[in-house]
Amino acid sequence: MIISHDLGTTGNKATLVSNDGTMVASVSVGYDADFGPGGRAQQNPHDWWEAMATANRLLLEKGGIANTEIDAVSFSGQMMGVVPVNGAGEPVRPAMIWADTRSGAQCDSLIERIGMERAYAITGHRLNPTYSLSKIMWLRDTEPEVFATIDSVLQAKDYLAYRLTGVRVTDPSDASSTNAYDQAAQGWSHELIEAAGLSASLFPEIVESTTVVGTVTAAAARETGLAVGTPVVIGGGDGPMAALGAGIIDASSGAYAYLGSSSWVSLSSDEPLHDPLMRSMTFNHVIPGRFVPTATMQAGGASLQWVTQLLSPNNDDRFAELLGAAASSTASEDGLFFLPHLLGERSPYWNPQARAAFVGMLMHHDRGNLTRAVLEGIAFNLNTGLRAFIDNGSTISSIDAIGGAAHSNLLLDIFADVWGVPVAARNLVDEANAIGAAVVAGVGVGIFDGFEAVHGFSSRTVVREPDRANHARYGGEYLTFMDAYRRLEPWFDGLGSGTAPQPA
């Protein structure tokens, strides 16, 4: 038996998987996030630990098995964060998560020192405040007393592996999400770390995702319900792990879309994809020697969650109600657009100052129209990432959708119509990350012969074909959506700098 944990933004989805690839049980344990002014986005690492410990105990109870039957534990975790720990391994402050954008000034100074093009060539990513490197610089510059106590900086899943084993390491997939990783050298970039004015000693050793980094200690066993000596496999970042869970293991596997709080489109490749326009980025896969070119938007599923809560608060059926209203409504066809930049934006604009906006509203637009505009805005935004892949030689004939929002046939239909290819949902759309972590664990301890074992975990259950007339219409509306952002971008940037145009 394998226990895998998917450490997300809103909670931990954990699964119990048998050695033949059957999902025996799954649980979710939530925790809070602190979103505040100035781009603050933080979480308490102890909450992650408590959620993981609770999930372990619940899975053992739900599965009706003894802890000695667990052959391995592994992780998929949110990426691009900063978990600063002292010499004793204790967090010295809340973790800065992927959505935190307070380090804009530090990122700008790093760009001045090394150049955006040079950084993209080294890391496969733009320099951006959402990444770990500039966040560490921010801690140094704004919290010097706290920074002085930091011994090492971990990612979310690395912290949990450390709490279980006492070993501090990371893997290539998470390392490649820091803005401090050299993809050609397959190790930390001394050039970038030196340009940031940081010590390389802050960054942990990098081991392959399938590495058994240690075993569960007696102290960890008491808190988690796991047996002492259970092997712990380090796992990987949630983006590459989702790719594995969706069956995207090589260049022939197609593409997938992940529809969580942040959302992205991605595929697998044998080498990094460097887009001349730098619209996309490339992570290391959890599969050694492979990569996952990716285009990520900050608030994909989060935009849908936001609008349904805003329009129908205190209604447990609000999601179904508003999607039903959106199904019979129009938005972009009627000149109504939503720019889904509630948390700034990564792909394709890489602008932490970007703001969300409804554009083209009229008196007759109601809740259904607004919800439809949000769905279309998510599809339009992700379409730019797909265009980057295609422009650089990738062939995309179909897309698998995973993540919570993939339950909506309406959203899948909109995606298929905007993107012009079939979009499919799998029978385990919510568990793809945890499935990926289970496969990595199984490969790590020898239960599975290879990563191809993932194909036995899930199957396509829904395939939505594009409507060609809708696709043709959406092509023009996509261009209008893009134009709306370009026209508003100077205003967004002015808001962030305090120089927004003032009324006459």
Question: pLDDT value at position 499?
Answer: 55
**What is the overall mean pLDDT for the chain?**
93
476: its two tokens: 């023009």
Q: Do 94 and 143 form a contact (C-beta atoms < 8 A)? A: no
Assigned superfamily of 2-234: ATPase, nucleotide binding domain (3.30.420.40)
Can you name the residues that pair with 237 across neighbouring β-strands?
77
Taking 90 as the threshold, does the pLDDT of residue 249 lie above it? no
* Length, in residues, of the chain: 504
**Could you read off the pLDDT of 35-93 as tens digits, one per residue?**
999 899 999 999 999 999 999 999 999 999 999 999 999 999 999 999 999 999 999 99
Reference 284, options 181, 204, 386; nearest CA is: 181
Taking 90 as the threshold, does the pLDDT of residue 428 lie above it? no
Q: Which residues contact 207 (CB under 8 A, 6 or more apart)?
A: 169, 170, 171, 213, 234
Average pLDDT for residues 276-301, to the nearest whole number? 93
Q: DSSP character for 189?
A: -
Question: pLDDT value at position 252?
Answer: 79
Question: pLDDT value at position 285?
Answer: 96
Residue 97 has phi, psi (to 5 degrees) of -90, 180
**What pTM did the predictor assign?**
0.85
The three state secondary structure string of 203-214 is CCEECCCCCEEE
The H or E element containing residue 418 is helix 409-419
Question: pLDDT value at position 458?
Answer: 75
Q: DSSP character for 228?
A: T
Q: Which residues contact 56 (CB under 8 A, 6 or more apart)?
A: 3, 14, 73, 224, 225, 226
CATH of domain 248-499: 3.30.420.40
CA-CA distance, 60 to 496, in Å (whole number)?
Answer: 49
Per-residue burial over 43-64, b = 16 or more CB atoms within 10 Å of its CB, e = otherwise: bbbebbbbbbbbbbbbbbeebe
338: its two tokens: 């939503």
Average pLDDT for residues 132-146, to the nearest whole number? 98
CA-CA distance, 311 to 302, in Å (whole number)?
Answer: 14
pLDDT top residue among 280 and 175 = 175
Is there a shared CATH topology between the 2-234 domain and the 248-499 domain? yes
Reference 445, options 32, 19, 11; nearest CA is: 19
Any idea where the domains of the chain sit in the sequence? 2-234, 248-499
Question: pLDDT value at position 64?
Answer: 93
Taking 70 as the threshold, does the pLDDT of residue 292 lie above it? yes
